[in-house]
A and B are shown apart, each in its own frame.
Chain A
Amino acid sequence: MPDIETIERVKEIDVDKYKYGFETIIESDTAPKGLSEEVIRFISAKKEEPEWMLEQRLDAYARWQKMDEPDWAKVSYPKIDFQDIYFYSAPKGQTGPKSLDEVDPELLRTYEKLGIPLKEQELLAGVRKHDEPSTLDEDAGPSYASGKVAVDAVFDSVSVVTTFKKELAKSGVIFCSISEAIREHPDLVKKYLFSVVPQGDNYYAALNSAVFTDGSFVFIPEGVRCPMELSTYFRINAENTGQFERTLIIAEKGSYVSYLEGCTAPMRDDNQLHAAVVELVAMEDAEIKYSTVQNWYPGDKDGKGGIYNFVTKRADCRGDNSKVSWTQVETGSAVTWKYPSCILRGDNSVGEFYSIAISNGYQQVDSGTKMIHLGKNTSSRIISKGIAAGNSDNTYRGLVTTHKKAKGARNFTQCDSLLIGDQCGAHTVPYIESKTRTATFEHEATTSKISDDMMFYCQSRGLDEEEAVALVVNGFVRDVLQQLPMEFMAETQKLIGISLEGSVG
């Protein structure tokens, strides 16, 4: 009986075999457990921050204390004990290595295990051939400039190594850790940090504003097309460490940047909290493309463990004709709460959101976007593909709204859900607010399963059940996959296959 086979396979569901589950043992330089003004002062001092930054943090902390944890998302998890979390943990002796040679070899091995070693990354990106010298050396020549990926690797809370920095600097691009930016470029940081996501924006953003330890800072000067894809790999490692990343990207007039963010996490039992904030600012004619592949530990087959991922991502299309495009592939985390948004303030500005969210096991995903149309002739496009399997719940939650003055605003939304198995749930909660006659909004949503006809067709041509499912699912998400930069596409296709293994229903 095929049904019984299926049940057997579901039992062996893949979440238990998390490919990236291992731990690296490195001594941590850790702040005392829990959250208090002292801890915030400790973090700020550790980061050698100026006084104004500390004040902002303390202000955020004061706001956070007055806020309630949001409960409107369709996720449930035990109450988080914020006094049982380490808010700062830095791999010892890793404060600012100059090159890969200075990096703890243990870290490099971790990346290797993840399948994303920095040097391998060069090869993937076609930066050098096997017999060529590594361009990670600081004197990389300009002849290698095209098709490169600059990596700002984040290991726990401290930026471990930043590559290609020198070359980027030649075009005036600043790409460094946010801590460094606070020290080196205080004017820029002062001007833009908290300008898109203010300290008191929401519960998790306030928490992040108080305790953020690291993240990336990108500044693209006027008229510059960033010569390479910028990329960050996030890792959560030390036990009981919250990860509070803060990313700020500023694209000046007429500039372009593509930023990639990818993450995996080691296997463990304790739930881990991740509350990141990403702020994007696009000035006139600027374009930012932000891509994420999120593959944190989703918990084991019984729903034990896994990462809590509460993220605030927001882009401000401040200038006319600016454009921001969010692309995300969400396959990991036990609980995801994430709504990358665009404030379309400039006339003719464009916001895009492309999302693939796959949930399996006992994962809970509540994700979507907000498109806030303020300027004239602004347009937005939302393509969301949710795939639920196992015992998971997968929710799309989105808002599209126009201001009265947003004449000629346009939105197109398509959210499709695919259910695999009869113990999962797929939900769609879109909010649409149209406040002017000339705005045109279109919203479409469908939910279905992989039809028996499709399966029969594929299987009668010699594909086995899993291959057939992978084929159909890859077709289902194709619209979004195509939005990913080349570097991520191959990786993501594999990831989709891995995430859905054993879930045929």
Chain B
Amino acid sequence: MSAPLFRAVTMARRLDTGIMERQNTIWRILLLAIPLAVFSIFIVWPLLNSFYYSFTNWNGFNAEYDFVGLKNFSKVLTTRLFTNAAINTLIWMVAAIVLPSLAGLGLALLLDSKIRGANVFKSIFYLPICLSAIVVGQIWVWIFQPDWGLLNMAISAISGEPFTYAWLAKPGSAIYAVIVAWSWQQTGLSMVIFLAGLTGIPQDLTEVAEIEGATRWQRTWHVVLPLLRPATVVVIALSVINSLKGFDILYIMTGGGPFNSSDTLAMYMYNESFKKYRMGYGSAISVILFLITLTIIFIYFRQLKKVDEIYD
């Protein structure tokens, strides 16, 4: 190739690259604009609205309302129902993280030990995660039904005495009954992630430990569990996010009742806003809930960074 021709081809290539770069930029902007617009309309703007209404006494129906400053926040933070909902949220989050994770780990360890029909059990235990929370909630409402529910019928059959405890209608048990239903559904997800983690553990390590005389428990505790750390971080991070979204199952099973005993902050916000028609007050609760969620998400991202470091 002659020198002038070479220069011409190089220039043409540069021009092409320049045009392509510009076209790519236009495409990037166009493609990002759609999700950004949707995100702004459905997430950012409502969020800003919630902040705005939290300083008002708007009831949801009236076109007019007054600004009340921080009155809603001072009321929220001093009311017994808020404290109750905050404690329940804490119970819900801790239990909704710990129980499915532990149960999922237990099942994964059992099913990884080459028992017969392991694949069938894996499918069965994973099945609930495919159901919607509404369906799961309704199934457990029937299971917990005091007169003809499966649980009380089983207890009655075992004890030989009629047992009619109303699990979802008693303030002492309602939220825990919902946690059981939630854990039942979420365990399958944790199990699958732990099973994936177990496949990544070299068999040599456990075999060496076995040759060295380590018991099954010692092998699990000192070899398997430390190597499952990346999977554990993923399971916990997912459990945190899922537990924050756990509104629907509570709504179906108790609606925050009986008499607010199973209210979480999200349920409390919903009831104040939509049942008592106190939209300003409900917005103040949602702002507080938003700040709590933001803190948790911040911790979540830090954990995610740690996972990346572990994988690197």
Tell whether A and B belong to one assembly: no
